A and B are shown apart, each in its own frame.
Chain A
Amino acid sequence: MDLTTTYMGMKLKHPIVASSSPLSGSVSNIKRLEDAGAAAVVMFSLFEEQLKHESAALEHLMTAGTESFAESLSYLPEVDDYTVGPDTYLDLLRRASEAVDIPVIGSLNGITNTGWIEYAQLMQQAGAKGIELNIYYIPADLTTTGREVEERYIKIVKAVKESVTIPVAVKLSPFFSAIGSMAKALDNVGADALVLFNRFYQPDFDLEKLDVAPNLNLSTPDEIRLPLLWIAVLYGKLRSSLGATRGVHTPIEVVKYLMAGADAVMTTSALLKNGADYLTTLRDGLQTWMEVNHYDSVTQMKGSMSQQNVADPTAFERANYIKTLESFKSDYI
């Protein structure tokens, strides 16, 4: 049984990757993920905005109230040797890369052009085997056009690709008018992988406090539909690898994503819910399914139900809607 796959140009022992989550917050956890069988680990994201905010907040809070009152000219010990900025992240990335044999992929969320480039370079220097660009952008400004948003993505990917030599993946938003064209454009500027889709943390309302609650909830298996559709559509049409993320809770979702055409299948929620060891369950489950269903390799499965390989390619397009309605009618009326 050959479970190997190639993702972002990297040969992985199987397609299941631990995606960006708090689980990758320490070397010991990353080691646990490796021990549980992860084929690769995407680190939690380095948020440029958070670093800037933290740096400014520390500066403000460490000096607040100082040099104001004769008895208490300062309130905290003078610390010369503290690090803000990306150092902590990079240090973890460096130590993790050294501690495990599987590829460790950095994840970056920038806000400035310089930030994207500098931090990507630093990640490469720290030993990242690849970088996933976590481009998170809510165009709340009503004057921003769709085209502008697209260009922003393309510009970032192009800039990062030009500044590093390790492979670069892009975690895509599902909110483009034409995902296919967007994917192609990113492919054209050199993206080594597209990860479908970024799961934006949409805020909830706290009715008790009448506040916007920025909490997050875990994904559910039925969330695989949208990425499944687009992976199936994109399979075979791009140079870049395809990563699937969202809704992977059982080996079944892994199989479906692979059949749609994913080169790697990522999971967060299932691991947060069940622990790092659940990776073993997913991997073993995939293997069992393949055995039961007589598949020899992941390569054999990959894209087997993509748009270009299914019996009815239009099933992924508008006809899909009609068929659904028809089946609905025939079943119940």
Chain B
Amino acid sequence: MTERQVTTIDGNEAAAYVAYRVNEVCTIYPITPSSTMAELADQWASEGVKNIWGSVPLVMEMQSEGGAAGAAHGALQTGALTTTFTASQGLMLMIPNMYKIAGELTSAVFHVAARSLATQGLSIFGDHQDVMAVRPTGFCLLASGSVQEAHDMALIAQAATLEARVPFIHFFDGFRTSHEVNKLTLLSDDDIRAMIRDDLVLAHRTRALNPDRPFIRGTAQNPDVYFQSRETVNPFYAKVPDIVQAAMDKFAGITGRRYNLFDYFGDPNAERVVVLMGSGQETACETAAYLNARGEKVGVIQVRLYQPLSARHFLAALPASVKSIAVLDRTKEPGATGEPMYLEVVNTLVEAQIEGTLPMPVLPRIIGGRYGLSSKEFTPAMVKAVFDELSKARPKNHFTVGIIDDVTHTSLDIDASFMIESDKVVRAMFYGLGADGTVGANKNSIKIIGDDPEFYAQGYFVYDSKKSGSQTVSHLRFGPDPIRAPYLVQSANFIGCHQFNFLDRGDVLKNAAQGAVLLLNTSPHEPEEAWDRLPHPVQEQIIAKKLKVHAINAEKVARDNGMGTRINTIMQTCFFAISGVLPRDKAIEKIKYSIKKSYMRKGEEVVRKNFEAVDNTLANLREIPVPAQATSTRKLPLVVPANAPEFVQKVTAMMMAGRGDELPVSALPVDGTYPSATTQWEKRNISNFVPVWEPDVCIQCGNCSMVCPHGVIRSKFYNEASLDSAPKAFRTAPIDARGFPDIRYTLQVYLEDCTGCGLCVEVCPAKSKEQTGRKAINMALKEPVLEDEKANVRFFETLPEMDRGRVDFSTVRGVQFLPPLFEFSGACAGCGETPYVKLLSQLFGDRLLVANATGCSSIYGGNLPTTPWTVNNEGRGPAWSNSLFEDNAEFGLGFRLTADKHLEYARELLLALAGPLGQAQVDELLDAEQLTEMDIRRQRSRVADLKQRLREINDPRAAQLLAVADQLVRRSVWIVGGDGWAYDIGSSGVDHVLASGRDVNILVMDTEVYSNTGGQMSKSTPMGAVAKFAAAGKQIGKKDVALQAISYGNVYVARIALGANPQQALLAFREAEAYQGPSLILAYSHCIAHGINMQRGLDQQHLAVECGHWPLFRYNPMVRESDENPFVLDSGRPKIPLKKYAYNEVRYKVLTHTNPAEAERLMDLAQQGINRRWSVYEDMATRSGGTFVPKFK
């Protein structure tokens, strides 16, 4: 047998590797957790990697998964071998085409990283809800349970589909398999060729649409033949099991790896059997083996071909000794009599009994259970709980395992102490910060160790819900045998804590085994101080578990070696130095080799710095003596303060502490409804540097507060008498306005919530007269000022809120006094989107409805545990919801339709109840103008009176009016999302809603790329910029959706950039909201995906406008009433060349390194495009008003 390459990759790469090689066309669209497959296909195509026929597959990004499926359908129909990669809602969007593809008996495999569906909440994590939802489409379902299987089944599926002519979904568990890094044997191109029969490929092409031998497909059929036609496919499906098994047998002949439709593991005379598919099977099999060794008669059936489920093969796999069976479904079908695989197994066995083919004398007891939804852990203890349940005389049916269900009591009890981790395996956990490079270093360690022929390696990575300051936990296993443990490390013999303050937050040592090694990064302290700085409970754990503690001040070593805050190489070196997985010298040599390999292309300097860091690490690593007794008196801080609301105390705090798994069903809302205003309870303290206000320099302009992405800079003015009880360190200044001698002003920074992005300092225009380097707000070390500022924040919150009626909404200076109702989100530090969202909440928050497209804004806006949308001192605040990615405009229009209908109904009821209410009061309510904040407040007061009166009126119509009376205060409906939504997947919805004429406001936060899924090209991506799916630079310019919208004539359209002109941005928001028709605001949002120093994000916005890439304008249909020109350009002619803006960003700059000539060509074309577009805009701005569409009444 040929020597095959052994490598360490993740499940996505394993599957895509094969899919790419056996297809000619890949139609793609990003969706977590499958995006990597599409990205790799695109990357390989751009690198010229060929398929097994020696041709580079054509990879095409579409506007949605619906589009990807449609294009796949078309490519298949015309004879190209075609695939796509998707998950979750993406697969849902493919359903209509899947029926067609299957109905037309088309050979194709879709590769799915199976993921939860959005129901009571969205989840990006893994289960089988998506693949189970496509059962009726006619696609076969083939499941992989490991990284190696994802590789192998991808090929078996392709071989089978070509022969069977029935399309396949090949799926594996999202994240658990798609993102698990494991060692596998790679299929060679020869292996792949041997599996794929060219005659079947040619047959596929022969069935294609071809004008040289024409036929039609896709007819409309009538009652006479549709039914019979539907039955024509039966023979094809009947053959599928044998075809797949034959492909598996052939595969075994080629590779030596044997698979069956159903594989049985365990005691041949097992009495209790668990049936399941996906990654859980490895856990189940390993547990069964462990129990077998202890005399238990148990076994596991791994289902590979789930649909069509072959009863014959299933019964053959099932030991005749079986008395009870538990079928585990990783899905949930509310209201069903059982989950689908359970029902299939019941059906199979019952039919066998009826037919007399049952292999056992008595029908076994069959129970079904759910497990592992949304990547919920599935551990050996859970498998054992299921086996134990099967031993019972009356086992629980329709159970759940892995949660505590104290409502309908479905859950099984679990013995959490049951573990089967092998002592031969090194089990390591690393707690790191996203920014410190821990995960990258661990992936590298896995490669290093996995490359050693004596070792197997596995890695899985857990990330938290925030995009800034996020914690990562890496779970690594290394051992002499293949590692079949698709669950988190439960008992670690090595724990790396890469951030010292983590020991104060979560229970880092919870999973430490007795005698384990603890590696601590003690920064900012020296290792010698580490012990005394540990909290008492942590010291106690270290002593009780007899941990050996090693420590290093990694940040110091990093800094001294010019590596900034990246401590990854240092901590990785420490791990190798003390873990003993590999001999130290060999390990260091391998680290250096891999550094050279990874960083060579980034320059000698980077390599040298890393080498030096490795050498200096060893010199700075210390072993810390552990005393016999805990010496610290410090307790662990509370997760949330004692005054937090009950829900936050009982539920949110558990999630924050990493103990959400312990929450029982009863603790959670039944319908996905969560309280607003919870980020305020999570003081994340993620930045050591924070802005400090200098009252004597400040001109009170409000710019810093306006641009703060995290809402941590607040302003108030107040009577100086309020200062009587102020803390000594409270900062204050006379208000910068004449005629108010007693009024003081304070700009308060909420230090604990600050991410340290520095945008406030960048935007501050005020400089000290004596020292021009000192601004009115400057970054400083947090620690020295923290305690004072915490007291200051507490005092600041006691100062009265501004009366909204007295605030000048028209200026940046005025708006700073409006409290943000969007605060402390988990967005990236320096996010370019959140300042717009925050501004929206300040201006209209108390009457705001937000429909939020899936994407960054729905994640930083709504990802548990804590969420940033909050309430004002009256208890009012934005009502926010996220439906889906593709439907957001329509979803938001629904908000408007309710508002319009209920307002109409309220007005009708008011008229009907004019008698008891009084005509005058009714008229006031009906005729009230609601343009200014003062108008709104007066109307609120009228509505409050009305509601009071209605409660006193005994008339059913009064109760009806009471329910809709709030609508009499004008609601502000905003439809918010990114460019991936507005330009691509939701484009038609946006267009339709804009054409509806309804009073909705669409805010597109345009980052010019799919930010949330990791930087894929959208139709907003500008020419010349590099993005995923456009690695060679985007070849066409971005779509001008502004001009599209303007073409309707009655749509308010503005293009804004806060960093270039905040006053114009503010004006646009207010005009859009005031306009009682559809509005569209396109807001330039700098983004981490641009490859910029985020601190300079606002400067980039400014340059984007200066160079003409992002001209500022407003098109206001209201102006047409006076016959004026509605199109106003708010920025001047381009002053600088595009490249002066673009080449500050890696997304453009990198092309000058990869392909300078192409970079030059595209930059030149892009510049021409800008020049042409500017002339169009200038022409529009200088036309007479009469040349525009008239204002529609």
Contact = CB atoms under 8 A, between A and B. Distances in A.
Contacts of B39: 77-78
A71 B461 CA distance: 12
B772 interface: yes
> Sorted from nearest, which 7 A-B pairs have the closest CB atoms?
A68-B434, A55-B603, A72-B1014, A67-B439, A82-B1153, A75-B1015, A75-B1089
Given A68-B467, A82-B1153, 20 more contacts: A51-B603, A55-B603, A58-B603, A58-B1153, A67-B439, A67-B440, A67-B461, A68-B433, A68-B470, A70-B32, A73-B36, A74-B1015, A75-B1088, A76-B1028, A76-B1146, A76-B1150, A79-B1154, A80-B47, A80-B601, A88-B1156
A59 interface: yes
Contacts of B466: 69
Centre residue among A64, A75, A84, A85 by max chain B CB count within 10 A: A75
Interface string B421-443: 00000000000011101111001
Interface in B557-607: 562, 564, 566, 599, 601-606
Nearest to B442: A67
5 contacts: A52-B603, A58-B1153, A72-B1014, A75-B1011, A77-B1030
A69 B1028 contact: no
Nearest to B1094: A64
B124 A70 contact: yes
B472 A65 contact: no
A30 B179 CA distance: 51
A71 B1013 contact: yes
Interface in B438-468: 438-440, 443, 461, 463, 466-467
Interface in A27-71: 51-52, 55-56, 58-71
Centre residue among B47, B605, B1030 by max chain A CB count within 10 A: B605
A62 B1150 contact: yes
Interface in B951-988: none
Contact of A52 (B33, B36, B605): B605
Contact of A69 (B46, B463, B772, B1030): B463
Interface string B609-643: 00000000000000000000000000000000000
Contact of B599 (A59, A79, A81): A59
Contacts of A51: 603
B399 interface: no
Contacts of A77: 39, 42-43, 46, 1015, 1026-1031
B470 A59 contact: no
A128 B562 CA distance: 33
Nearest to A68: B434
Please classify how large the interface on chain B is, using the bins under 10, 10 to 19, 20 to 34, 35 or more. Answer: 35 or more
Contacts of B443: 67
Contacts of A58: 602-603, 1146, 1149-1150, 1153
Centre residue among B466, B606, B1147 by max chain A CB count within 10 A: B606
Interface string A74-101: 1111111111110010000000000000
B772 to A, nearest CB: 4
Q: Which secondary structure dominates where chain A touches chain B?
A: loop
A210 interface: yes
Contacts of B1089: 72, 75-76
Contact of A70 (B175, B772, B1160): B175
Nearest to B855: A71
Contacts of A69: 434, 463, 466-467, 470
Nearest to A88: B1156
Contacts, number: 144
A211 B765 CA distance: 11
Nearest to B36: A73
Contact of B1091 (A67, A75, A80, A81): A75
A74 B606 contact: no
B713 interface: no
Contacts of A211: 772
A77 B1030 CA distance: 8
Nearest to B610: A59
B1014 A68 contact: no
Nearest to A91: B1156
B828 interface: yes
Contacts of B1160: 26
A76 B1028 CA distance: 6
Interface string B1154-1171: 101000100000000000
A61 B1146 contact: yes
Contacts of B42: 77
A3 to B, nearest CB: 35
Contact of B1013 (A59, A66, A72, A83): A72
B1092 interface: yes
Nearest to B601: A82
B1154 A82 contact: yes
Contacts of A80: 47, 601
B601 A67 contact: no
B601 A66 contact: no
Contact of A74 (B46, B1014, B1149): B1014
B437 A67 contact: yes
A70 B1031 contact: no
A70 B1012 CA distance: 10
A75 B1014 contact: yes
A68 B175 contact: no
Contacts of B463: 68-70
B1153 A88 contact: yes
Nearest to B46: A77
B1153 A65 contact: no
B1093 interface: yes
A71 B470 CA distance: 13
Centre residue among A59, A62, A72, A85 by max chain B CB count within 10 A: A72
A55 B602 contact: yes
B1015 A76 contact: yes
